[in-house]
Structure 1
Amino acid sequence: MSQFTAGSVRVSWSVLLVLGYLLYLLLGATIFQVLEKQAESQTRDRFQLEKLNFLKNYTCLDGPALEKFVEVILDAWEKGVNPSGNSTNPSNWDFSSSFFFAGTVITTIGYGNLSPSTVSGQVFCVFYAVFGIPLNLAFLNQLGKGLTAHLGRLERSVLTPGQHGQTLKMLTVSFFLILGTLLFLVFPPVVFSYVEGWTYGEGFYYAFITLSTIGFGDYVVGTDPEKHYISVYRSLAGVWIIFGLAWLAVLCNLGAGLMDRLLQLKQSWRDSCRAGPQEGSKEGDVLDQRAIQNPI
């Protein structure tokens, strides 16, 4: 593990990277909350006032009134305010939600259901993503290498010579794959189904779309105004996303290693096939020379 010395203290680059990653997320969550929460509150209040004016002034619904009300609804929705319910709906820019949003930015998931509405928030989001995306890639790469190293040590600890050693190695890798699948793709949809009221299929769909960073935004945790979530629910979902992406990075490393081995075997087979005819042709040339020198 690479280290550097600061004075008389030796510091690990991996530890520094993890701390920098977490501090970056905390910083982003705090700034997004400061920049966006007040604007969201103003939009929410304006929308509630429009609803009251609509109910007071329009006892008979007509076309223009409906169009105006639809415009207000769309404007509120685009700014992250759910038109249903009332002004007591949970904020989209409390710290937990801001932390979750910061994670979706630097992981490039980008659900699209929420975005900064202020100019200052949009400018900060650009620079936050510019520096955060490379940091996220470096963090996931380092975390994936760490998990791969632990997996390698686990393989060596159970590795024995011969056929049994290869079998144990395959079982170790299979155990890692199965455990990761259970932790990141099978079990989370159960939690989402219970908390969000989704079916298991919808929860599994959301888990896959999220961890694959596709992020359609048709399903997002913690956005139902009729449900009361615990304050750390979306933050825990953000932690699940980060470690799920690291697990996928390990899978990619294992897949890349397997492809390299297959390519090496293929190249070795090609080299052996080319070497065979060449050796045979050399032997044939020697026999031909002998036949010329010693004709019958």
Structure 2
Amino acid sequence: MSPSSTAGQIFCVFFALFGIPLNMVVLNRVGKYMLVIERNISDFLEGKTRRRTCTRFFVHLVSYLSGAALFFIVPMVVFQLHEGWTYSQAIYYCFITLSTIGFGDFVADSNPDKAYPEWYSILMASWIFFGLAWLALLINHSIDILERLNSHLKNWWGGRKQEEEAGGAGGDNPDTQVEEEDEIKRPPIAQ
């Protein structure tokens, strides 16, 4: 389905300019809400076990596996039963749809020769919405992990830099003296 008239195409462009960012905001909020639930569970379990790293890893693992089951494995079985697709076609459709690539080579609930139950379209829309939100959760979680890693690397690298500066402060290291002399002799960069 696509707009065929000029007015419809123009409307589609303006609708997308506002609709896509709004959709991303909503999906991001739902993903962050899922992340808050995951963190609350993790904090609760940390209080019970007193093993922070192990508990967080376990909660993240369960979150990923349950999301994979809920948004890939279960829908894959449903698509095999209702669409008549093979295992590989169903998993391909799940990934292509939830990653928003959407080539359109497989479209669920669109075979005119099949009579789909009424709940099927609602289930499809819910699966896509919450599956996209789950991917937003994964993206938010990945950002969180990368920010923590960046912080740890800065602390580690900053500590090493301070050790190197403290070690070379006496001026007895000839390598340091050569580097300092090279820096003085370098011409300024023309802008």
- Does TM, scored on the shorter chain, surpass 0.5? yes
1:200-259: CA deviation from partner (whole Å, max 9, x where unpaired): 211110000000110010000011121111234223212211110110011011111111
Following superposition, the deviation at residue 185 of structure 1 comes to 1.1
Alignment CA distance shift 1:139-1:278 (3 Å)? same
- Name which of 62, 69, 72 aligns with 1:185: 72
Alignment CA distance shift 1:145-1:223 (3 Å)? same
Distance 1:238 1:183 in 2: 14
Please give the residue correspondences for 1:94-109 in structure 2 after superposition, counting only pairs within 5 Å: none
What's the secondary structure of 1:158's corresponding residue? Answer: helix
Distance 2:63 2:81 in 1: 27
Following superposition, the deviation at residue 279 of structure 1 comes to 1.8
Identity in percent: 39
Q: Tell me the residue number matched to 1:60.
A: none
Distance 1:161 1:224 in 2: 52
Q: Tell me the residue number matched to 1:170.
A: 57
Alignment CA distance shift 1:279-1:194 (3 Å)? same
What's the secondary structure of 2:35's corresponding residue? Answer: helix
Following superposition, the deviation at residue 264 of structure 1 comes to 1.5
Please give the residue correspondences for 1:275-290 in structure 2 after superposition, counting only pairs within 5 Å: 275-282=162-169, 284=170
Q: Tell me the residue number matched to 2:186.
A: none
Confirm or deny that 1:242 pairs with 2:129.
Answer: yes
- Name which of 118, 125, 130 aligns with 1:231: 118
What's the secondary structure of 1:159's corresponding residue? Answer: helix
Alignment CA distance shift 1:123-1:234 (3 Å)? farther
Give 1:181's aligned amino acid.
Answer: A
- Give the structure, 1 or 2, with the largest relative contact order (CA under 8 Å, sep 6 or more): 2
In structure 1, the gaps of 5 or more residues are: 1-113, 287-296
Following superposition, the deviation at residue 149 of structure 1 comes to 1.1
Q: Tell me the residue number matched to 2:90.
A: 203
Alignment CA distance shift 1:175-1:209 (3 Å)? same
Alignment CA distance shift 1:204-1:138 (3 Å)? same
Alignment CA distance shift 1:162-1:124 (3 Å)? same
How many residues align? The count is 172
Following superposition, the deviation at residue 163 of structure 1 comes to 7.1
In structure 2, the gaps of 5 or more residues are: 173-191
Based on CA coordinates, which of the two structures has the bigger radius of gyration?
A: 1
Please give the residue correspondences for 1:30-69 in structure 2 after superposition, counting only pairs within 5 Å: none
Q: Which has the higher helix share?
A: 2
Distance 2:127 2:45 in 1: 29
Alignment CA distance shift 1:280-1:140 (3 Å)? same
Q: TM-score, normalised by structure 2?
A: 0.82
Following superposition, the deviation at residue 125 of structure 1 comes to 2.5
Which aligned segments of 4 or more residues in structure 1 are displaced greater than 3 angstroms? 117-124, 160-163
Q: TM-score, normalised by structure 1?
A: 0.54
Q: Tell me the residue number matched to 2:3.
A: 116
